Chains A and B, each alone.
Chain A
C-alpha cells in the first residue's frame, strides 16, 4: 500500500489587529529564544471554493487549513478525478462527509491524522452511544485495549470480523459492544498499530494489547534545526526513543546509546558520578584525545554534556552519522552529532508518572590475588631467585605466618574482597505532563543515589529538575522554553579514583585490613620491597575525602513567528551555566606498630592538605532561522532554511591549597597553617556560524537535500578562522514508483546517498601563538623569583581546519506490513589535515611539539541493521533485531612520520594507535636454547619469554617491533530479542565488539610490580622446570625483570572482544481492574539486570575498559540488578 502523506503545517489566518501591537512587543522581547517545529492548534473549520479541482488538492487544502495530516491511498488519489467544491467555514467533519461520501470514500481520524479509505473497508470512529444495534438478541462484550506498555488506547476501532458491527474505545481504553452471539472473531485496529484478531469463544470480557508498528509512515525524526519525516531522510540517522530506554537503570545519558547501530559505546567502569560512556560514531576519525574524538551533544538544541540530562527526561535521541546529516553543525560535527529531545506532554489531561527502582551493584570482574601471606612470600622469593637474586623473606618469617591463624599481626588479607562490596542504588522520578490544544508541558523531578562498590569511598547523588512548556500564543506566534537543572554530589578518595585504584592494586596479603583493638590504624611490619610505607586504602575511606558538587542550569527560550503560512522565523536563546566546587582534604594519619602500639609513620601527607577548586562555565547561544516552504503543483516540494548562530563559551577556574593541618578536626582552608598556593585562569571561545539547508522533493519520491555551514572560530589564527562545510544528499523512494505498485510485500524501499564535509575545531586555545609562558621561576638570594619565563612549546601559526569528507550510501526497507525492516549503509570517511600534536626530537629544546595539520585518516565501513517483529497466536508478540557495524580505520598519510606512544604506533597504512610490540615465540625451555637464540639481555634464562628477532640482526631491540593489533574494534554489533505474553514482557539487549586488543600491565596485571601483589594464576600457570607447557613465563618481578619478560610484546596482548548481555528487562503490567482500584491508569513492575553475562577472553580485567590504559587501576565495571515500579496516575 502506498500512502501520500501531506505534512502538517501551521494554520494560516491573519491575526486580529489588536494582537499586532502585543505581537510586536513580544517579538522584540523574545528575539533571543528558541523555536521548535511543532504542532499548531488545529482549526476545526474549512473554507474551500474552487472549481474543477483535483481531489488531491482538496485534501491538501484541508490539511493546510486544519493542520491535520491527511493519509490516503494512491489509488484513491489517482482515480478520483476533479470536482467543484464550495465549502465556507464548514466544520471539518461535516466537510469531510460532504466531500467523501459522493466518492464512496470514508475517513476516520486518528490523532492528528485523517485517514481516507474506500467505504467498503472503512473503519469507523463511532461514539459509544452510536453502537450499532444489529441484533436484538445480541450479547454484550466489554474490555479494555492497551498498548504494549499497558497504557489505555482510545479511538481503537473494533469490529466483528466479516460484519459491519463495530465500535471504538473511549478515552480510558474501554469499549462495550453488542454481538449477535458469543462466537466469531473481534478485529482490533487503528493506524499505527498492528491489527489484532481475537476469537470470542464464549467470553464476554476481552482485553486486547495492540502492538505499534515500527517504521510508521509519519514517524518524525529530529534532525539539525528541525524535524524531518523518516521516509524523507536522505542522510544516515539512528534513532533511540524513550520506549527503548524506559525502566532501564541508566545512570548517565551516554549509556542510552548502547545498542545503536554504528555507534561504539564503551562504558569503562561503574564509577558513581563518572560512569559516562565513550561514544565513537563510525570509527575514530582523527588523532588526539578526549574532546577531539567526542561527538557533539545537543539537548533541545543546546550544547550540553550527557551527564547533565536526566535519562528519564529523554523523549528521543537522534544520532546523526553521515556528513549530510551533520554538516549543518559544521566545525563541531566531525565525530557525529547527537540530538537529545526532552519530553513534553502528549495527552489531553495531566498525567502523573512515577518511575523508581532500587537495586544492587556488584563488580563484574576483579583480579584474584594471592591472598595467603606465606604463599605470597614464597612466590616472591621464587621470583627473586629466578631473577638471579636472593630470597627476600626469611624462612622463619614464612613459617611464622604458616603457624599462626589470621590476625592483625599475621594477616592474610584479600584486599579485593575487603574493599569491594555490593552497593545499593536507587532512583526516583516524578513527572507531571499534559497538553491542551494550545499548550504542552512537562514538569519533572528526579533523584538518584548510587553508592559505589568501592565501599565507603565512592558514591554519587543526583538531583534533576526539568521544566518545559510549549504554547501557541496566537495562530502566528508561539513560544517554547524550558529549564534543565541538575545537581551532582560525588564523593571519592581525596587523591581521586586513579590514584586510589593504583594503591588498591598495590596491596598485598601481609598488610593488615581494619583497625587495631584500640581503634588505631595498624602499620604493616612485614615489608615488601617497593612499598616503603603501607598506604592503607581503608584509611582513605575513613579519614580523607574529596567532595565534588556540580550544578548546572540550562535555560532556553524560543519564539517562532509565521510571516505567512510559508515563511517562518524562529529565534532561540539559551544560557547553559555550570559550576563545580571540589574540596579535597587529607589529615595527618598515623599508623601504629602492631606489637608495641607506637606510632610508626604517616604514609600520606605529613602535614595534611586541603585543596579547593572552583570552576564556572557559561555557554551563551543565540540562533535564529528563517524557513520557507513551497509546493508547486503538488509535484515539487521546496523547503529552505537559513540560519545564523552566535555562541560564546567562557570558563573560569580558581584553586587554592594549604597544608599544615594538625589533625582531622578542622578542615577548612582557613585552618591550614602552611604553604598557601593558588592558581586560576579564564578562557573564552567564540563561534559564529551561518548555515543553510535546501530540501527538494519531486512527487515525494525523488529527494534532494543540500546543507551548508560557514563557521568562524576563535580557535584559529586570523586568516584561518573561517571554514565552509557543505553537503549534498539524495534519495529515491523506489517503492513510490508506479512500477512497484504491484509489489505488495514491499511497503517501503529507499535508496539514498550523500556526500559532505565537516570540521573539527577541538584543539587547544592559541595553538597558533608562539608563547612565552610564565611560571618558570627560580630562587636567587633565598627568595623565589616567580618571574621566570620559558618557551616550552613550538607552535604552528598555519593551523587550519581539520576537514572530514564523507560518502554514504544507504538502503532502507520495510516489508510485510512493517514486520521486517532493515537498513544497509556503506560509508567512506576521509579526514584530511588532521590536527595533531607533533612530537619534536628533544634536541629541539625539548619543546612540546606543535599542533599541526599533518595527517589523513580513512574510515571505511558498513552497517547492517535488521529488525523483525511478529506475533504467534493472540498474546505472544516478539521482536528480533540486530545490527553489525564494521569500520576499517587506516592512516593514509602522516607526512612520513610515525607517532609512537608507549606500545602504540600511528603510522601510514595501519589503524590509528595500533599496538606496536615485539613478537614472541613462546618460552625458552633450556639453557641451550637460550644460548643459541638472540636474547634481549644477558640475564635471560629458561622460562623467560622468547622474542623473535624479526630483522635478523642478532639483537632484540625496538627494530624488531611489529604491528600486532588494534585498539579500536573493527566490529561492533548488538542485538535485541524481546517478547511479550499478555501482561508480561521480556526484552534483552546484547552488545559486542570484535577485533580489539588491550595490554594490561603494571600493578596486579603483572606480577610483583614494584611491591605490588600477584594473581593466583601465577601459582598454577607459570613456567617451572616441572611445568614447561605453562601459559605464563617463570615468576619474576615486573619492574625488576622488565626487559626480559615484560617488554611490550604480543605475549601480553589480550583480545578484548566480548559479547555482553547489557540489559535484560522483565516487565509485568498489573491488571486494569487492579489499577482502577488504586486510581492508576497503568502500573508496571519491572526487573532489570545490567551486564549480567559477559563472554570474553580477557583475563585481567573487565573487557569494557579504558582500552588505551596500560594498567588496571580503573574503577571496575558493575553488574546491576534492579527492581522498580512505573506508575501512571
Chain B
C-alpha cells in the first residue's frame, strides 16, 4: 500500500519538476532580433527586405503605380480603388483614405526598414567596402521614399533611426525644406559609395547613376535648374546609359536591365508577382482617355489638328509610333486577336505598356512579372532638356536630348522644328514628356511642377466616342498637396493637417 502511495507521489513530483522547461518554446520560423545583425549575410538579407518594401501593394503592386496616371489627364480609374477617382475629380476631403494612406504607409514601411538596417549595420562583421555599399543602397532607398512623401504631403515626420514607437510615434511633421535637405544628403552619400553598375547577378540594385537621377528629379521639383543640369551631366559623364532601340521592348521582361533602365522595381514569377497584366487586359481599370490619345502627334510631327495625315475615320493610323506601342485601342491586334469594345469597355483604350502579352501572345494574365521602370534614361534626357531650356533656352543640347528620344529606331519621329523659342521649346518638351512617359505615372508630378495642373485637371475627360466620363476639379488653394491620412492624425495628433482640409 505504501509503495503505491510513494509511487504515485513520486510520479506526481516527477511530473511537476520534469516538465517545467516545456514552457520555454523558441520561435522556429523567424529570427529574434537579439541574435540578428551578426554577419554579412544577415545584413544583405535585411537590405533585400528594404527593396522588397517597394513591391508592396501600397507602392508598386496591384493598381497602385498606375493610379498616378489615372490622377492625371492621361487616364481614368473607374472603380475608385484607393479613392484615386476622388483625387482626380477633386472631391477628396480630409477623411479620404486612399492613395494618400497607401503612399504614407508604403513609404514609411520602406523608410523603417532602411532605418533598421542603417542603425544596426555597424554591429555586423563584414567587408568594409560592402558595408559602405549597403549603406549607400539603403540611403538611396530612404531618399526615394522620403522624396515621394515630401512631394505629396509637403513635410512629414523625419525619422532616421531604428523604428521606435516611444521615440517616433508622436513626432510632428518636419518642414518641406528639412526633408528635402535630408533627401539630398542621403543621395549625395549614396552616390559616393554606390558603384556605377553591378555584376549580372546583382543587377537591379541602386547605382550611382540612380542616385544622381533621383537627385535631379528632386532638384527639378523645385526648379533648381542649374543643379539639375550639373547633376545630369555627371550621369552623362558616366557613359553608362543609352536609349534602348525598341521603345515597347524596353519595358519587357526579356530586356530586363537594359541600357536605358536607371532604376526599376523588379518582379519575378512565381515568388514575387504583380497584377499589371490582369489589370490592363481584363479590368482596364486604369484606362487611357481620349485626351491622351489626341495628344499623340502624327508621323509628320504635327498634331492631329494640323496634320493632313489625320483621318478621323482612321484616327489610329499614321500616329506617333509610340501610340500603338503604349496603348491598345479597339481593333488593335492584341493577345493574338483583335481588341474589342467588350475588352476595352471603360474608355475604349487600355495600356500596352507594362504588360507582357503583345500582339501575338495571349499571355497568362496571372503571374505577371513585368518590372516597373521608375527612372529611365529618356526621363533623364527630358529633365536635362527641361532644365537647360529654362536656364538658357533651346540650345543644341536641348534639341539633341529631345531629338535623340524622337529618333529612337522604333519611334522614328521627325526631329523638332529648328528655331523654337524658349516658350515653344517648353511646350515641345512638355508634350514630349507626356508622350514618351505616358502610362508611367510621371505626368501627375510634371503638371504639378509646371502648375499646368490648374488648367488640365479642371477639364472633363472623354472616352473614344467623345462621351463624357468625368468632370474634374482642381482647387489650387488645396489640391497641390494631399490630406494627411486622418487615421494617422488620430494616432498622432501632433501631425498638423494640410491647409484647407
The interface of chain A, by Cβ under 8 A from chain B, is 20, 23-24, 27-28, 31, 388-390, 525, 527, 529-530, 532-533, 561, 563, 569, 600-601, 603, 605-607, 622, 624, 644, 646, 648, 659, 674-677, 681-682, 684-686, 688, 690, 712-714, 718, 721, 765-766, 769-774, 776-791, 794, 838-847, 849-850, 898, 900, 936-939, 955-958, 1010-1011, 1039-1040, 1042-1043, 1047
Nearest-neighbor residue (CB-CB) of A790 within chain B: B49
Q: Does B468 make an interface contact (CB < 8 A)?
A: yes
Whether B367 pairs with A789 at a CB distance below 8 angstroms is: no
Given A532-B284, A659-B367, A681-B29, answer yes or no on A791-B108 (Cβ-Cβ < 8 Å): no
The answer to whether residues A898 and B490 also contact, given A682-B28, A790-B53 and a CB cut-off of 8 A, is yes
Chain B, residue nearest A781 (CB): B201
Chain B, residues 266-297, CB within 8 Å of chain A (1/0): the string is 11111110000000001111000000000000
User: Is B202 touching A841 in the complex (CB atoms < 8 A)?
Assistant: no
**Which B residues fall within an 8 A CB radius of A?**
1, 3-5, 7-8, 11-12, 15-16, 19-20, 22-25, 27-34, 36, 41-42, 44-46, 48-55, 78-80, 83, 85-86, 89-91, 93-96, 104-106, 108-109, 111-113, 115-116, 156-157, 159, 163-165, 168-171, 198-205, 256-257, 266-272, 282-285, 342, 345-346, 364-367, 467-471, 473, 485-488, 490-492, 495, 501
**CB-based nearest A residue for B164:** A844
Q: Are A532 and B267 interface neighbours, CB within 8 A? A: no
Residue from B50, B165, B495 having most chain A Cβ neighbours under 10 A = B165
Q: Which residues of B contact A841 (CB under 8 A)?
A: 165, 168-170, 488, 491-492, 495
Q: How far is the CB of B170 from chain A (nearest CB, A)?
A: 8
Contact partner of B165 among A783, A794, A937, CB < 8 A?
A: A794
Q: Please, how many angstroms separate the alpha-carbon atoms of A917 and B11 in the complex?
A: 60
**Is there contact, CB below 8 Å, between A784 and B27?**
no
Contact partner of B365 among A606, A675, A938, CB < 8 A?
A: A606
**Minimum-distance CB pairs A-B, first 9:** A845-B112, A845-B163, A788-B48, A790-B49, A846-B109, A675-B270, A779-B268, A781-B201, A770-B33
Asked whether, in the complex, the Cβ of A843 is within 8 Å of the Cβ of B168, the reply is yes
* Chain B residue at smallest Cβ distance from A937: B91
B33 touches A712 (CB 8 A): no
Contact between A714 and B95, CB atoms less than 8 A apart: no
Asked if A900 and B487 make an inter-chain contact with CB atoms under 8 angstroms apart, the answer reads: yes
A714 to B24, CA, bound (A): 6
**Chain B positions within 8 Å of A690 at CB level:** 16
A28 and B256 form a contact (CB under 8 A): no
Whether B19 and A846, one on each chain, are in contact in the complex, defined by CB atoms closer than 8 angstroms, is no
Known: A714-B25, A847-B112. A789 touches B204 (CB 8 A): no
A residues in contact with B104, CB < 8 Å = 842-843
Residue of A nearest to B79 (CB): A1010
- Report how far A381 CA is from B481 CA in the complex, Å: 34
Residues B96 and A607 in contact, CB atoms below 8 Å apart: no
Assuming the contacts A607-B366, A766-B27, A771-B31, asked whether A782 and B488 have C-beta atoms less than 8 A apart, the reply is: no
Give the docked Cα–Cα distance between A388 and B470 (Å). Answer: 8
Given contacts A772-B31, A790-B52, A843-B159, contact A532 B205 (CB under 8 A): no
| CB proximity of A718 to chain B, nearest CB, Å | 7
Query: Are A765 and B27 within 8 A (Cβ)?
Result: yes
Quick one: given A648-B22, A779-B266, are A27 and B8 in contact (CB under 8 Å)? yes
Taken together as a complex, chains A and B put the C-alpha atoms of A847 and B346 apart, in Å, by: 37
Contact of A780 among B89, B202, B367 (CB under 8 A): B202
Q: Is the CB of A24 within 8 A of B3?
A: yes
A-B contact pairs, 7 of them (CB 8 A): A27-B7, A688-B20, A714-B23, A766-B27, A771-B32, A844-B112, A938-B90
- Given A605-B366, A937-B91, A1043-B96, 8 further pairs, Cβ under 8 A: A606-B365, A781-B198, A794-B163, A841-B170, A842-B108, A843-B488, A958-B94, A1043-B95
CB <8 Å contact, A1042 and B80:
yes
Q: Could you tell me if B27 and A1040 are in contact, using CB atoms closer than 8 angstroms?
A: no
Q: B163–A789 contact, CB under 8 A?
A: no
> Given the interface contacts A771-B31, A791-B116, does A688 sit within 8 Å of B282 by beta carbon?
no
> B204 touching A780 by the CB < 8 A rule?
yes
**Residue in A606, A676, A791 whose CB lies within 8 Å of B113:** A791
Contacts of A527 in B (CB 8 A): 342, 345
Distance in angstroms from B187 CB to nearest chain A CB is 21
User: Given B23, B52, B85, B93, which contacts A776 in the complex, CB threshold below 8 Å?
Assistant: B52
CB contacts (< 8 Å) of B169 on chain A: these are: 840-841, 843-844
**Which residue of chain A has its CB nearest to the CB of B487?**
A900
B31 / chain A contacts, CB cutoff of 8 Å: 771-774, 789
Cβ-defined contact, B25 with A765, below 8 A: yes
Contacts of A603 in B (CB 8 A): 282
Closest chain-A Cβ to B117's Cβ sits at a distance in Å of 10
Contacts of A1047 in B (CB 8 A): 95
Expressed in whole angstroms, the Cα–Cα distance for A780 and B266 within the complex equals 8
- Contact at B205–A780, with CB atoms within 8 Å? yes
With most chain B CB atoms within 10 A of its CB, the pick from A606, A789, A850 is A789
Given the complex of chains A and B, what is the CA–CA distance between A936 and B93 in angstroms?
A: 8
Please, which residues of chain A bring their CB within 8 A of the CB of B83? 1042
Cβ of B272 and Cβ of A779 under 8 Å apart? yes
Is the Cβ of B80 less than 8 Å from the Cβ of A1039? yes
Residues of A within 8 A of B492 (CB): 841, 843
A622 in contact with B85 (CB, 8 Å): no
**Contacts A770-B32, A779-B268, A843-B159 known; A646 to B15 CB distance under 8 Å?**
yes
Which residue of chain A has its CB nearest to the CB of B346? Answer: A529
Are B33 and A771 touching (Cβ within 8 A)? yes
How far apart are B464's CB and chain A's nearest CB, in angstroms? 14
Partner of A844, one of B29, B165, B270, B467: B165
Establish whether residues A788 and B168, one from each chain, have CB atoms under 8 Å apart when the complex forms: no
B7 and A957 within 8 A (CB): no
Q: Name the CB-closest residue of A to B97.
A: A958
Given the known A-B contacts A779-B268, A789-B48, are A713 and B23 also in contact in the complex, defined by CB atoms under 8 Å? yes
Q: A686-B22, A771-B33 are in contact. Are A782 and B491 (CB under 8 A)?
A: no
